[in-house]
Structure 1
């Protein structure tokens, strides 16, 4: 069997974890199914200003691999660019080699800040790209032709991007599922004690202050209370009492910073939680509705349809039919 060649092009300063997550998924796949064959190639990138990109302690230890070369890139089926922080400009030679590699049919991707060199070369123009929430504004401003998303990872035609952290493992599981089937991806996730296989379209968990766009202490306290009381929602009066403001003052704060009243924000919070459970658990629709604070099935279904434009059952069935991980999807609803 001919080995499938996967390359990892590493920028200076990249931490071992980013590469280790990707390599571990491929290594475990081979252990689980010996017939799965990947040849892994680790290469080191250079920038137009390599000295500025190299951390002061880089001489102490660096990731294994060889300096990149045209010969090292030759014959790759997939190539992932790895960086933990947005790197500087790419050298002309490397940029030319990467563009030639794409023209030859290689599938290319960026992990964490590895999306930046791809975008610099115009290789993400018109493509969706998963960008870490810390860099979204900067990335969108610098590369308006790329479609930056808040997804864990994106696989758009022949481009693959992951926002960083554990999403790197999520993307590699998707690669295994695409190359060898969902059963293998599920076996690898079990071997790695991964709680569940996350889909690329799931959104990054952004810190509360960043999600709210405000550090107002009373607003933060109120939202934390809401998030802690999903199954048995508090009234607006109860929330105001807990955060030590009047109901009217609380409504003014929500209107000023979130452009909605507390009850509306709370409802959206519960509906988003319900949608997450629909896609990630095998609980029945009525169980999910009750656990998210809705008094009855019709009440839950009506509120869900008004907000998302589809009933819970329609949304679940649609997502399941589009998922590449059929074996891990929830069972069909009865009735």
Structure 2
């Protein structure tokens, strides 16, 4: 009988709920199987406790370099990720992952964990997902990854999901593939779930949460906008694809979102532009084009009208904030190297 040791690498601000869901799924699988086939270890980059999104400090079993042999590693993270240029342990992470990937280790990303795998070049040509709002940003910086907005993705030796309860769906689905559908259904019953969310289901967006089930056409229209930020669709085309008239679409937007479709669409594009300015090194012109603005002057004018300053001023403010941030002293063992598998 094969035994699995699963590592869960916790990065700062990761979701405690997501961690609990994954660990509970493995524990419940052991109970259902009748033997302890799966064991779990919590890890950090340096072996010290990790402060999660709730502010709770989680004790870990090992630092990553000191972890025993693992059959899988799940990375739990939230953006922004640790800066490898300023953190010796983060700098060691990519080589560690790349070495294990060469030996066929199962690698997973929970929350924003897939972003770490993408940075290490380990998701190229794979389907992957993470928290829905971060998909456009990662799509721009890692175009070789097949990003999706689904609840979870299982693609060969790469697993990924968003934060929250998606980790429970992911682990149950993967355990079902490993041990059979009967185990998956037993776990669904164990956790009191109506059903297991399928791999083809999309993550709910804030718009869906606000409008509920009564605005399916509106949710479809917003999804079309979110999928076409770089090349905006005309309002008439969005209405046609959503199966309503332009007048009906405008009425839905006014009723549920208090905005005209064109105004809401522009807001989506500008919010994406602000995220890219803050979190990527792309040029201002590249960002403007990626967000559907035909020229730099058009982008600058729209951005200033919305946020009160130009994209160039926003980028300058970010640079000043970075310059003024105090350097973090290196840890005593930042130069430590890991042993080969």
The TM-score by the shorter chain falls in which range? 0.5 to 0.7
| Number of the residue aligned with 1:145 | 144
Q: TM-score, normalised by structure 1?
A: 0.59
- TM-superposed CA distance for 1:84, in Å, is 3.0
| Number of the residue aligned with 1:179 | 178
- Pair 136,76 (structure 1): closer, same or farther in 2 beyond 3 Å: same
8 Å CA contact retained: 1:86, 1:114: no
- TM-superposed CA distance for 1:258, in Å, is 5.6
Q: TM-score, normalised by structure 2?
A: 0.58
Q: In angstroms, what is the RMSD of aligned CA positions?
A: 3.3
Match of 1:85 among 79, 85, 100: 79
Q: Write the distance in 1 (CA, Å) between the matches of 2:201 and 2:99.
A: 32
Please give the per-residue CA displacement for 1:167-226, whole angstroms capped at 9, x wherever unaligned.
Answer: 11111001211221110111011011011011112111223289xxxxxxxxx98x9755
| Number of the residue aligned with 1:6 | 6
Q: Write the distance in 1 (CA, Å) between the matches of 2:155 and 2:53.
A: 37
8 Å CA contact retained: 1:129, 1:149: yes
| Number of the residue aligned with 2:39 | 39
Alignment of 1:1-335 (within 5 A): 1-45=1-45, 61-72=56-67, 74-90=68-84, 91-208=90-207, 226-227=215-216, 256=235, 259-261=238-240, 264-265=243-244
Q: Which structure: larger Rg?
A: 1
How many equivalent pairs are there? 225
- Pair 264,9 (structure 1): closer, same or farther in 2 beyond 3 Å: same
3-state SS in 1 of match to 2:202: coil
- Pair 194,96 (structure 1): closer, same or farther in 2 beyond 3 Å: same
Please give the per-residue CA displacement for 1:8-54, whole angstroms capped at 9, x wherever unaligned.
Answer: 011012232111000001111122221251111110136xxx9xx97
- Pair 255,131 (structure 1): closer, same or farther in 2 beyond 3 Å: same
8 Å CA contact retained: 1:80, 1:111: yes
Instruction: Give the unaligned 5+ runs of structure 2.
Output: 85-89, 218-232, 246-341
Q: Write the distance in 1 (CA, Å) between the matches of 2:29 and 2:214.
A: 42
Q: Write the distance in 2 (CA, Å) between the matches of 1:133 and 1:57.
A: 20
Q: Write the distance in 1 (CA, Å) between the matches of 2:127 and 2:105.
A: 18
- Pair 54,167 (structure 1): closer, same or farther in 2 beyond 3 Å: closer
Q: Write the distance in 2 (CA, Å) between the matches of 1:104 and 1:150.
A: 29
- Pair 88,3 (structure 1): closer, same or farther in 2 beyond 3 Å: same
Q: Write the distance in 2 (CA, Å) between the matches of 1:181 and 1:96.
A: 34
8 Å CA contact retained: 1:127, 1:159: yes
